[in-house]
Amino acid sequence: MSLILGIDLGTTHSLVGVVDSGFPILLADGEGQRLTPSAVHFSAAGQVQVGRAALRARAADPARTVTSVKRLLGRRESEGDWRPPYDLRALSVTPIEVSAAILQHLRDIAERALEQTITRAVITVPAYFNDAQRNATKKAGELAGLTVERIVSEPTAAALAYGLDKLSERSKIAVYDLGGGTFDVSILELREGLFQVLSTAGDTQLGGDDVDRLLAEWIWQRADFPTALDYQVLPTSIQVRLVEAAEQAKRRLSTDDTAEISLPFIWEQRSLQLVLSREDLEKLALPWVVRTRQHCLRALSDARLSVAELDQVVLVGGSTRMPLVRRQVAEIFGREPNISQNPDEAVALGAVIQAGILAGTLRNVLLLDVTPLSLGIETFGGLMNVIIPRNTTIPCKAGEMFTNAVSNQQEMLIRVLQGERELANDNWELGRISVPFPAGPKGSARVGVQFSIDANGIFHVLARDTTTQRDVILEIQNTAVDVADEKVERMISESIDHAFEDMNERIWTEARLKAEELLPAVDQALDQLGAELSSEEVQLIRTCAAQVKNLLHAPEHNVKALKAATQTLDEATQQLAVMLVDKAMEESLQRRGIL
């Protein structure tokens, strides 16, 4: 079975992984790094470099280095409030092409690590991405030679990584995602194994980078060099060094109480050396983190929930490693957040899990999926009887009762079908089973057929003869049920193309079955009770029956005429039917010695 990559295509960083030997893993590049900066450098000579190589090239050639392109993906130029420090038009590339270069690089990392060609992927996008942005992401994947099997929203992927699909039905989850450049909060609800995004809120200009800049400025002020410039007008190269030092110190302060900053010869041969405490950092960062509060409250109110109604709060994004952020989250939501996963890898891990589920390489996880096509069985007359309609959320269960269509039948053959066509033979057969039952008159057997698809995507068919209580079971692997997208599309478009003729065929078959049931019953009744009717009445019934027979065997199917003739025959035999019932009643009473 071909592998499917899970990809977190992030604003600042991207990750790629795959399910290997049943475990979701994230893959490292040649330098042993799992995080790939989402940066692409287009050299004047036409060379394209991605990731750390692109960032290295940026120092010398900033105008030709594209970063944060995700902010531009699927948007018109006039949209959005973020203006990039580069001109894509001057570089003759589109945001889709830049994203494709990143995806191609991630694909290369995976192909090198796994030593095989990979052509399929699941890619995550923010929950608020609209159709155009999702389509642009899909197109970027295709441009990188990947079939995008699914676009998954980031909070959903994170919830999967945290294993929240194991929570009970209707559990509500807040996903607090504070990264380098953006903040998102989403409220999800688990419904029948599927995460529904109830609301999202956030700020596309709020992230850990803000803290780095604040801290860089603070460090500069502490230096207090006599001839120094104001931070805002410092040369870019010095600002960059200060920001890098600030970011490193910030990270260290997530685990340590103090961090030493050392910047040799930063200004006019002078060096800067100082010790920063976590307290200093927190004082500086508090107003920044408090800004996330209003978005959390807004998301809750949009989802019409109170904090008490939430079951879990999970953290995503590197900045949620800061103890100050964790305390703030606990304060906003009135509970400790779940910190069991690496916050900067949770989205990627969720994408990998989803990819593993789709590829069928990951077991024992809930299949967050729906039935791509209807499942049913063939009924009398060769028609499709749908038991689980398409797009039903998995896991699911449904059943129906069937009976024998002819007398003295001893078994029922159940053909399990998948597809959208009205006639059984136009759908795909997934398997067949035979259910034995005691011979009896027509309509005496009772066979219950139950379809269920469990959390692992295994499709079980259970057929039970209710007289003997004997079960026959058929198990169909999810690989058979989970059909490739293009086959699903073909089946659906064929069902639409043939909708009229299929429906006509169904209506004809139903009319034919009714007529075929009535004719022998009329013959039998005439044999038994014909003598008690007037010859005109018998003649009328025979004429009506002959008309039905003619229409049944006519080369052209005339449903309307057949229905009308059957109806006329039915009406002409009303008197006969009443006599039959009376006779049966009389016989029964006589048998029981009442008459």
Provide the annotated active-site residues: 8, 70, 154, 177
Q: According to the binding rule CB under 6 A, does residue 155 interact with ligand AMP?
A: no
Q: What is the contact mask toward ligand AMP in residues 264 to 303, using x (rule: CB under 6 A)?
A: ----------------------------------------
DSSP 150-218: EEEEHHHHHHHHTTGGGSPTT-EEEEEEE-SS-EEEEEEEEETTEEEEEEEEEETT-SHHHHHHHHHHH
Q: According to the binding rule CB under 6 A, does residue 6 interact with ligand AMP?
A: no
Helices (H), 372-498: 478-481, 485-497
| Least distance CB 312 / ligand AMP (angstroms) | 19
Q: What is the DSSP letter of 89?
A: H
**CA 423 to chain CA mean position, Å:** 29
Q: According to the binding rule CB under 6 A, does residue 12 interact with ligand AMP?
A: yes
Q: Which stretch binds ligand AMP (CB under 6 A): 314-322, 420-428, 451-459, 586-594?
A: 314-322
14 phi/psi in degrees, rounded to 5: -130, 155
Q: According to the binding rule CB under 6 A, does residue 180 interact with ligand AMP?
A: yes
For residue 355, count other CB atoms closer than 10 A to its CB. Answer: 27
Q: Which stretch binds ligand AMP (CB under 6 A): 222-230, 245-253, 464-472, 526-534?
A: 245-253
Alpha carbons 472 and 488: distance in angstroms, whole number: 29
Within 364-393, which residues bind ligand AMP (CB under 6 A)? none
Q: What is the DSSP letter of 337?
A: P
Q: According to the binding rule CB under 6 A, does residue 179 interact with ligand AMP?
A: yes
Task: Collapse the DSSP code of 115 into the 3-class scheme (helix H, G, I; strand E, B; otherwise coil) and give the result.
Answer: coil
Alpha carbons 457 and 447: distance in angstroms, whole number: 25
In the list 344, 420, 502, 505, the residue contacting ligand AMP (rule: CB under 6 A) is 344
345 vs 426 by CB, closer to ligand AMP: 345
330 vs 484 by CB, closer to ligand AMP: 330
155 vs 317 by CB, closer to ligand AMP: 317
Q: According to the binding rule CB under 6 A, does residue 71 interact with ligand AMP?
A: no
Helices (H), 344-477: 346-359
Q: According to the binding rule CB under 6 A, does residue 37 interact with ligand AMP?
A: no
In the list 108, 142, 203, 209, the residue contacting ligand AMP (rule: CB under 6 A) is 209
Contacts of 214 (CB under 8 A, 6+ apart): 284, 285, 288
Q: According to the binding rule CB under 6 A, does residue 250 interact with ligand AMP?
A: yes
Rounded to the nearest 10 degrees, the angle between the axes of helix 574-591 and helix 499-529 is 60
Q: Contacts with ligand AMP: how many residues (CB under 6 A)?
A: 18
| Least distance CB 387 / ligand AMP (angstroms) | 45
Of the candidates 193, 188, 187, the one whose C-alpha atom is nearest the C-alpha of residue 169 is 193
Q: Give the amino acid at 320.
A: T
| Least distance CB 13 / ligand AMP (angstroms) | 4
In the list 75, 120, 251, 298, the residue contacting ligand AMP (rule: CB under 6 A) is 251
Alpha carbons 340 and 342: distance in angstroms, whole number: 7
In the list 51, 193, 318, 419, the residue contacting ligand AMP (rule: CB under 6 A) is 318
Contacts of 594 (CB under 8 A, 6+ apart): none
* Residue position matching structure tokens 């994004």: 317
| Least distance CB 252 / ligand AMP (angstroms) | 8
| Least distance CB 335 / ligand AMP (angstroms) | 22
In the list 38, 94, 319, 566, the residue contacting ligand AMP (rule: CB under 6 A) is 319
Q: According to the binding rule CB under 6 A, does residue 337 interact with ligand AMP?
A: no
Q: According to the binding rule CB under 6 A, does residue 126 interact with ligand AMP?
A: no
* Residue position matching structure tokens 């953006």: 182
Contact 498, 476 (CB under 8 A): no
Tokens of 124: 């995550």
171 vs 319 by CB, closer to ligand AMP: 319
Q: According to the binding rule CB under 6 A, does residue 317 interact with ligand AMP?
A: yes
208 vs 457 by CB, closer to ligand AMP: 208
| Least distance CB 100 / ligand AMP (angstroms) | 21
**Which element (helix H / strand E) includes 470?**
strand 470-476
202 vs 318 by CB, closer to ligand AMP: 318
Rounded to the nearest 10 degrees, the angle between the axes of helix 208-223 and helix 236-252 is 110
Q: Which residues bind ligand AMP (CB under 6 A)?
A: 10, 12-13, 179-180, 207-209, 247, 250-251, 254, 317-319, 321-322, 344
